[in-house]
Structure 1
């Protein structure tokens, strides 16, 4: 009866708050609250990045937007460093960092998941290698294995073009490295949102569950889900409870659920109406 629920993810929504327009038509108390939140974030960023050129740093931090809730994987720490480099004004390191991170993600996915595909033609092209600098080989392989979602593969190819223009010697980079850095960062953020989101419409999540994502039963053995998604999940029933702790959430789920199989639609119904059913999935009159 249980399903895997996403609990571990990374999220920074400060830029979204900074970019929020506060119209005069809002209620005064609401406007005051938003303005106070913005001021606190700005003060925090000045403390974090330093006071020199602080307004440009705040502008740059806002420019790259908020991070979407992202599964804890092999990109989170480096993505933060890339974003911080851009916010600090180190645009060329941010540019090269974003491009390198894209290549690193592709490498991680191929190396981590290739043993699941030993019977494929693509495996013969990648099984001996310890790293990949040929983006087309990595993208095409992951696409053939149905690891990358189609839109993620498309975004990787666009990032590859930015990478080739920026990393290979090109005098034009001296003139537009800030714009290229912003473009690369936004591009890799799209990839993370599409492929690594902890909350979204990815095919491995049950549609329509409120407040969190649960993994579809049919995807539990999917290589990407098994290696990347499930390590960030707890397996819970519809009567589980959460308690906020200092370092995250604590899960309570000591109910003795019936040992029966239910569909994802039935599980969603249990989540939406937990008081209508007992732990054995019996309707409570």
Structure 2
């Protein structure tokens, strides 16, 4: 009667606040609140990256856009360092970092998941190696194993093209390294959004549950889900609650659930109906039906 709920993810939405257009039609209090939030974020960026060229740094920070809620996996730490390098103005290191991280993600996925695919033809090409410098081999292998979603496959191939054009000697890189760096970072963030989202429309999540992502029961043994998604989850019933303890959130789930199996669709109904009530069973949203 329980499902795995995503509880560990990383998210920085400050760039979205900076990029938000403030309309003259908004109420004065609303506009003032947005302007104050923007001011605070700009101060944070200046404190983090320095006063020199601070307006350019704020613009660069805005240009790489906000992170999407991302599962804690093997990209988070390095993705932040790459974004920080770009915001600081170290464009070529950001470009090479994004290219290297794309390759690292592919390597990590192949190495972590290949034991699940020993009977496939692709396994014979990758089982002896500890690293792979061929993007095509890694992408094609993960595509054949249905590890990467189709849209992530397409974006990895886009990133490969940018990487090859920039990393292999090309005189044009001397002129367009900032543009290439921005492009590579946005492609990498797109891959993370497509494949590693903690709040998304990926097929392993139950669609239509308000406010959180729960893993479909039929996907729990899928290699990518088992090794990458589930470590960021906790198994809960529909009556659980989330409480803040200090700087962390704690799952409270002390209900005695019936020992029965329910479909994902039924679990969704239970969660969405339960979310209308507080702990005293008082209606707090919706029509109560």
Alpha-carbon separation, structure 2, partners of 1:218 and 1:249: 28
Indicate the SS of the match to 2:11. Answer: strand
Residue deviations 1:113-135, cap 9 Å, x none?
A: 00000000000000000000100
| 1:85 is the counterpart of 2:85 | yes
Residue pairs, 1:95-114, within 5 angstroms: 95-114=95-114
Indicate the SS of the match to 1:67. Answer: coil
Alpha-carbon separation, structure 2, partners of 1:245 and 1:111: 37
Deviation at 1:244, TM superposition (A): 1.6
Instruction: Normalising by structure 1, report the TM-score.
Output: 0.96
Residue in structure 2 matched with residue 166 of structure 1 by the alignment: 166
Structure 1 residues without counterparts, runs of 5 or longer: 278-284
Residue pairs, 1:46-125, within 5 angstroms: 46-125=46-125
Alpha-carbon separation, structure 2, partners of 1:198 and 1:117: 25
Deviation at 1:248, TM superposition (A): 2.5
Alpha-carbon separation, structure 2, partners of 1:261 and 1:129: 42
Residue pairs, 1:198-277, within 5 angstroms: 198-274=198-274
Q: CA RMSD in A?
A: 1.3
Alpha-carbon separation, structure 1, partners of 2:37 and 2:199: 25
Residue in structure 2 matched with residue 145 of structure 1 by the alignment: 145
Residue in structure 2 matched with residue 280 of structure 1 by the alignment: none
Indicate the SS of the match to 1:12. Answer: coil
Alpha-carbon separation, structure 2, partners of 1:276 and 1:45: 39
Alpha-carbon separation, structure 2, partners of 1:167 and 1:245: 46
- Large movers: runs of 4+ above 4 Å: none
Alpha-carbon separation, structure 1, partners of 2:118 and 2:23: 58
